[in-house]
Amino acid sequence: MDFWTEIPSLGKRDLRDLKKGIDSAFKGFSRKYGDGIEAFFDPLYYFLVWLEKLLIAAPWPIILILVAGLSYLGSRSWRLSVGSVLSFIVIGYFGMWKDMMATISLISVATVICIAIGIPIGILMSRYDRVQAAITPILDLMQTIPIFVYLLPVVMLLGIGRVPGLIAVCVYALPPIIRLTNLGIRLVDKEILEAADAFGSSYRQKLFEVQIPLALPNIFAGVNQTIMMALAMVVIASMIGVKGLGMPVLQSIQNQYLTLGLMNGLAIVALAIIFDRVSQRYGKRLQAHRYGKDHE
Amino acid sequence: MKKILFSAVAAAALTTFASSASAGCGQISMADMNWPSATLMANVDKIILEEGYGCEIEMVAGATTTTFASMNEKGQPDVAAELWINAVREPLFAAMDEGRLHSARKMPITDLGEGWWVPDYTLAKHPELKTVLDILARPDLFPAKEDPSKGEFIGCPAGWGCQLSNINLFRAFEMEKKGWILIDPGSQAGLDASMAKAVERGDNWFGYYWAPTAPVGRYKMQMMDFGVPFAGADNWDGCIAKAEQDCADPKPSSWTESEVHTVVTTNFKEQASEAMDYFSKRIYPGPVMGQMLVYMDDNQADGGDAAIEFLLSHEDVWTKWVTPEVAAKVKASL
């Protein structure tokens, strides 16, 4: 009768030995190769430190001019540009300037890395069904696995701080850009591709001159989602010692400092909205421009 | 008349109950608190009191404040093996003055408390490092990744009470001027992992931690003497333990003493007077407790398993706490 009530299981001792075995194998790996792996990521680490120090050291009016300029360049909207500058001023006024700069440096580097890795993978997935079949479950895993499950091994390898934080952010923020690049390219009209074939275009020409341009709205939606998810990870990244707006949020959660939590939380939201609107407008503008040219 | 009769009966009932109880110790409820050393101690107490003193123990799960509140208000559970009293100091002392609660043992574990730690091999390699002050003079031994010309001190996770104390002590010892960076590990997981990473690779590590804990036992961490005396409760409670802006002039000080007591109710004291004697002798040496916590961690053992392991492997420790007859009874039951 035991068969029906007790699910067959590895004995307690075997299970323990299995876990201990894997743990100690990982620790051995970390002892042996940890320094090498850390050295591999060092350029990235020093770049992050450099960027953060640069942003913090830069005089605030220059940052504001940059913010105004970049957001105008991206969106071509005075209202958005003024709104961004105002939110930066308010955030600075409430004493969150340094934390904001630290967060911006991490998020922008993370976004650039995610785009640089994500778009090529998305293109590969759209080209080969097998690659898609292999990568989709990995993306599912990246988006659902509880963060600390992979964060602690990463911290054991690389130490606490920016690089593991960046990796955590990218693991979570990478999937949307990959998925949407893949989807966008796959959704390009078959007839248009046939036309391109008929004109005798090579794969390369088809990809860069037909598929990617037509997939841009989706790709930009992916970039946008990636930025949003990266910002959502700011607090988690702080849990392994990344400086920024996430630290005060952690502090407020532990101590029920409602206002502190709210202020820093809203600062993250403000950053998210600015990044979101600017990148969306930029994406749209890119499209409008192309359609405009096509119609001419 | 009726009233007098009733109270006489009640009194008689009470005395018979009390006398029968003292013979067999009776039913006791015991707090099984939610961290490893406390649950180990509670389970060891349970075995010894049940087998050696004939008590019937019921375990009640709980955390520090909830357990204390229940003991204070309702007199249940009867025993809290490892109560860290800093959080409940005032109501606890009030209850002790009123005679409702009693401390059966102050500091049931040695070498416990919070402080600044380094791995033992760092001290072996650099015997000149005797106090925190000596370490502060050598930031080069603990190079920070961000800026290797500076030393790295790992503080307490963001939002914990100890974060403020660490920040203020960092200021009090003028560590910035001495070439140190204060790193916020962000969470206990981050703090543990930074220690584990350093020790696994044989690097030096200097930071905040507390005992009794498994990482301290596993990595043979040594708590450093601060090299300065405790600079008074005014300095600590009025400045060091407060937010940075409320602490204008922190003075260097050793860490405030953490007081831990085994606390029992009056009910227990009267019911199980023999067991009070056991509690008064029950002191776990810090390294033994550290070993046990590592054992629990490695084997993912619960308090019950760990208690049996402790009784089997550390007989020399616990047999001193009880009479030979009791020890024989407990041993026979294992």
- As a whole number of angstroms, the longest Cα–Cα distance in chain A is 79
- Cα–Cα distance measured from residue A219 to residue B273, given in angstroms and rounded to the nearest whole number: 76
> What is the pLDDT confidence band of residue B44, given thresholds at 50, 70 and 90?
very high
Per residue in B75-88, pLDDT tens? Answer: 889 999 999 887 78
Residues of chain A whose C-beta is under 8 A from some C-beta in B? 16, 19-20, 27, 30-31, 34-35, 45, 49, 148, 151-152, 155-157, 159-161, 238-243, 247-248, 250-255
What mean pLDDT value characterizes chain B? 87
- Span B167-192, average pLDDT: 92
Nearest one of A154, A239, A23, A17 to B218, comparing CA atoms: A23
Its pTM stands at 0.79
Q: What integer pLDDT is reported at residue B7 of this predicted model?
A: 52
Query: Is pLDDT at B22 greater than 50 in this prediction?
Result: no
Q: What six digits make up the tokens of B193?
A: 């992992």
| DSSP label at residue A159 | -
- Cα–Cα distance measured from residue B141 to residue B118, given in angstroms and rounded to the nearest whole number: 11
Cis bond upstream, residue A8 (ω within 30): no
Interface test with A, best of B142, B145, B182 (most A CBs within 10 A): B145
- Cα–Cα distance measured from residue A195 to residue A216, given in angstroms and rounded to the nearest whole number: 19
Cis bond upstream, residue B324 (ω within 30): no
Cβ neighbours for A53, distance < 8 A, ≥ 6 positions apart: none
> What is the pLDDT confidence band of residue B4, given thresholds at 50, 70 and 90?
low
**Which chain B positions have a beta carbon within 8 Å of A30's beta carbon?**
197, 200-201
**Which chain A positions have a beta carbon within 8 Å of B158's beta carbon?**
238, 247-248, 250-251, 254
Which of B160, B201, B299 faces A16 most closely, judged by CB atoms? B299
Q: What integer pLDDT is reported at residue A296 of this predicted model?
A: 40
Q: What integer pLDDT is reported at residue A152 of this predicted model?
A: 82
Q: What integer pLDDT is reported at residue A1 of this predicted model?
A: 63
Query: Is pLDDT at B334 greater than 50 in this prediction?
Result: yes
B193 to A34: CB separation less than 8 angstroms, yes or no? no
- Cα–Cα distance measured from residue B51 to residue A201, given in angstroms and rounded to the nearest whole number: 88
pLDDT < 50 positions in chain A: 294-296
**Which chain B positions have a beta carbon within 8 Å of A13's beta carbon?**
none
Q: What integer pLDDT is reported at residue B160 of this predicted model?
A: 82
Q: What six digits make up the tokens of B202?
A: 């044989």
**ipTM rounded to 2 decimals:** 0.78
**A147 CA: distance to closest CA in chain B (Å):** 12
> What is the pLDDT confidence band of residue B23, given thresholds at 50, 70 and 90?
very low
- Cα–Cα distance measured from residue B206 to residue B139, given in angstroms and rounded to the nearest whole number: 10
Per residue in B215-269, pLDDT tens? Answer: 998 898 999 999 999 988 889 988 898 888 888 899 999 998 888 999 999 989 8
